[in-house]
Structures are given as structure tokens and as C-alpha cells.
Structure 1
Amino acid sequence: MNNKAELVRNDSAGIQLAGKILGTPIKERMTWADFGWDLAAYCEKEGLSMYFLGNEEGIPEKAKKRLQEKYPDLKVVGTHHGFFKKEGEENERIIQEINQLNPDILIVGFGMPLQEKWIRDNRNKLNVGIIMTGGNCFNFLAGTESRAPRWMHENGLEWLYRFLKEPVRMFDRYIIGNPLFFMRVFKQKFFG
């Protein structure tokens, strides 16, 4: 993906484990379920505006409503679902809307790697200060998806919880993707 992000945040227990294996410990894991509410509180306090882009229709609006119930002065200046054509006229119309609303922070929640590709392809067209990847953040913020029990996410098993809840959707990511990821980690460790 070109490694062009200005800041990288770890939201994966697997990345932490890979860091240990490779001798580069990654101390902190920061998921949207962990920091989304804190970010909203900070934005309200500092007067920063946000735009939510992604997920199914209605979910970003529910996230906005739920956050504003707790932080009534939070400025979420716009929302749009993530099921639109990522190029062409429809894409340009959404970029124009974002630019007209001029948010300080744009959160893009299409899931990986689609959100990273969209940001890469459209970054130069967007007039926003900060763009953050959100993955499934709007479901957590909207309250439509629950977090794994504390003992599971503290022990790196949140992936198992998500897989058990949605085995078909998560099969490729966890049953195929995780072993491939760790094969690459061990290849790097032992063969450079």
C-alpha cells in the first residue's frame, strides 16, 4: 500500500505478537472501541469537526447521534454510507460534499484494504486536515456491534469473538489471512 501514512496506529493483537517475534515490541494496541469516545470528547472540547464516511446506510448517522447524546457540542458536520462507486461521478460528488463541509477530521470506514486504497487515490482531492481509517468503527460507536468480553480482548482473542459471531464474513481474514500473515512474519524473522 506504499507505506505513505503519516501516522500508523496498531489495532491488532496479531501485530503486537508479530512485533514480539521480530524483536520490535509494540507496546500499545488502540482500537476504535478503545479510543473513539475519547476522540469525540477531545473534538468537542477543542471545537474540531468530523465527517463520517463508511459502513451501511444509517450506521454513520446512528454513530453521530449516539456520540452527540454524550457530547452535545460535538460537530459531526456530515455522514455518508460506504456503499458507493469509489471512482467516477458518484465518488467526485461525495468528495465535493466533504470539501464543502470542510471537516477537520475525516473518518473513512470501508474496511481494509479498501479504505486505504480510497484514501490513497483521493487524498489530494480532499480539503481536510486529518484522514483516519475507521474499519468497523461506526458499528462500535453506533452501538450496533458489541465488543468481545474484556478477558478476550485483553488476551488477544478479540479476533476469535468476531469470527464466532460472523464466521462466513470473517473466514478469509482469520482462517486464511492470519496463518499467511504469521508465515510472512516467520519468513522475515528467519530468512530476512
Structure 2
Amino acid sequence: YFSSDAEMDMEASHIVELNPDFLIVGMGALMQEKFLLKVKRMGYQGIGFTCGGFIHQTAKNRMHYYPKWIDKMNLRFVYRMYKEKHTRTRYLQAAFLFPARFIWERIFG
């Protein structure tokens, strides 16, 4: 993560300068969305993706991170909140703050 907004600005500027076609960001909910919005505002023209826990989950070198019944019922976020306690606050913030910010920016630019 970034230790300051200035550090985030420097990295975002560097990415805009490189101009990749795709940008995959895995910093955790809210931080990764904030970073993608910053990169976009600075002129990034590519496609940005957030990958949530993908990097963390695949780093464990297991084929199936989630139990089959969790996958079948599409309850991955619930399982992560149970298994990874640090995700609870982030998920709850993301559920309320990010949609509000997104709508605000769509309406007011």
C-alpha cells in the first residue's frame, strides 16, 4: 500500500505514462477502487480491473480456495468475511462507501 497520497500520485502518474492496455489492481476494497479512480482522473485510457483476494488466494497454491457449496451458492464474500477477519470492515465499507462515491461522481463529475 501507499504510505501517502503523494506516493499514490507518483505511482498513478507512472502508470499513465506507461499507458498499459490493462491495469490489474489488488490492494483490498476501497484502496484499489480509489487508486483506479485516481489513475483514470490522471488520464489513463486503458481498462482497469480490481482483483480482490485473487492474488492472496492463488498464492496459497491450492486449486480450490472455496468449499464447493460456497461456490455453488455464490457466497464467496461471506466465506472470506468468516475466514479472513481483516476483510469484514473493508467489505462493509465497500458495500456502502464505494457505491455512494461512484454515484456521486457519475452525477457531479
TM-score (norm 2): 0.60
Equivalent residue for 1:156? 74
Q: Which runs of 5+ in 2 are unaligned?
A: 97-109
Once the two structures are TM-superposed, the CA of residue 126 in structure 1 deviates from its matched residue by 4.2
Equivalent residue for 2:32? 115
Q: What is the root-mean-square deviation in Å for CA atoms of aligned residues?
A: 3.1
CA distance in 2, matches of 1:103, 1:142: 24
Higher RCO by CA contacts (8 Å cutoff, separation 6 or greater): 2
With over 3 angstroms needed to count, the CA separation of the structure-2 counterparts of 1:105 and 1:86, relative to structure 1, is: farther
Larger radius of gyration: 1
Percent identical pairs in the alignment equals: 32
Partner secondary structure for residue 5 of structure 2 = coil
TM-score (norm 1): 0.38
Q: Which runs of 5+ in 1 are unaligned?
A: 1-82, 182-192
Once the two structures are TM-superposed, the CA of residue 141 in structure 1 deviates from its matched residue by 4.3
Once the two structures are TM-superposed, the CA of residue 106 in structure 1 deviates from its matched residue by 0.6
Amino acid at match of 1:107: I
CA distance in 2, matches of 1:113, 1:122: 14
1:98 is aligned to 2:8? no
Show CA shifts across 1:55-80 (max 9, x none).
xxxxxxxxxxxxxxxxxxxxxxxxxx
Q: Which has the higher helix share?
A: 2
Equivalent residue for 1:140? 57
1:165 is aligned to 2:83? yes
Once the two structures are TM-superposed, the CA of residue 149 in structure 1 deviates from its matched residue by 1.6
